[in-house]
Amino acid sequence: LYVERNKSSRARDYATGHREELRMNAKDLLINMYQDSQRDCRQSVLDLIQRQTDAVYLDCGCDDGRFTSEVAHKLGTDAVYGIEIGEYSADLARERGVQVYSSDLNAGYPFDDCTLDVVSANQVIEHVSDTDNFVREIFRVLKPGGYGVISTNNLACWHNIAALIAGYQPFPSDVSGEAGIGKALALFHGEAGSLSHLRIFTYPALKGLLQHHNFIVETTVGVGYYPFPAVLGNRLARIDKRHSAYLTAKVRKPR
């Protein structure tokens, strides 16, 4: 009896260990896909930026200014502004030459009407509670003919659909500011307080919101297509942007 119990215990331990190993491998795979998609999402923003050396440029949610500087370099401009609520990140951006306003993107922007040529917001709109104000303010501060590039998570991507079918929370949808509760895999446990997603968009929702606030949507791009690797995934995302991991839109204010 003792031997049989030992065998049963070892079998349970093996099964538990095997499940945990599979879970960790799946988590590592998704984190790698996430990092690849983040890189490709930034590239999709850069691809939509046109060189304009006299442009006055604003990055909404500029963080530490690293990517802001990449966009500014693509534009070829020195008139670079940012809005960032985190003081530590804002200071780092200032060290990179970004003129940063410490402000809340749910409030009015510290710019006069029709003063900016280009506005970008990379992975920011999903963290804003008042998305109508967010888009309305971008429209207000842009000059007629100016444009914005906005990227965000896609609620209707296949891995979110799979999570819902399995009865879990979609990956970019947070119910807690402290932990990744209700998700099959909480990829970045403990970081939810600073990364909570408040509004998650589908392709029709993002396009519709931008059009509702009088923007001309010139182009939309899908980025990433889980579980496929980056090169194949991005090709599929171009074909089926409605189910891509991320969405990037270029919008223009009418003249």
Please tell me the distance from the alpha carbon of residue 200 to that of residue 121, in angstroms, as a whole number: 15
Question: What pLDDT, on the 0 to 100 scale, is given for residue 69?
Answer: 98
pLDDT (0 to 100) of residue 191: 45
Q: In angstroms, how far is the first alpha carbon of the chain from the final one?
A: 85
Per-residue tens of pLDDT for the chain, all 255 residues: 555 556 566 656 555 655 666 555 666 766 777 778 889 999 999 999 999 999 999 999 999 999 999 999 999 999 999 999 999 999 999 999 999 999 999 999 999 999 999 999 999 999 999 999 999 999 999 999 999 999 999 999 999 999 999 999 998 888 887 777 898 876 554 444 446 889 999 999 999 999 999 999 999 999 999 888 888 999 999 999 999 999 999 999 999
Q: Which of 88, 87, 118, 124 is nearest to 106 (CA)?
A: 124
pLDDT of residue 230: 84
- Count the helix, strand and coil residues of the chain and give each as a percent rounded to the nearest 5: 45, 20, 35
DSSP type of residue 110: S
Q: Which helix (H) or strand (E) holds 153?
A: strand 142-153
Measured in degrees and rounded to the nearest 5, phi and psi for residue 176 equal: -135, 145
Name the token pair of 80.
Answer: 């670079």
What pLDDT sits at residue 32?
A: 74
Backbone angles phi, psi at 69, to 5 degrees: -65, -35
Model pLDDT, residue 21: 64
String of DSSP letters for 62-103 = -TTSHHHHHHHHHHT-SEEEEE-S-HHHHHHHHHTT-EEE--
pTM: 0.85
Looking at residue 194, its pLDDT comes to 46
Residue with tokens 């922007």: 109
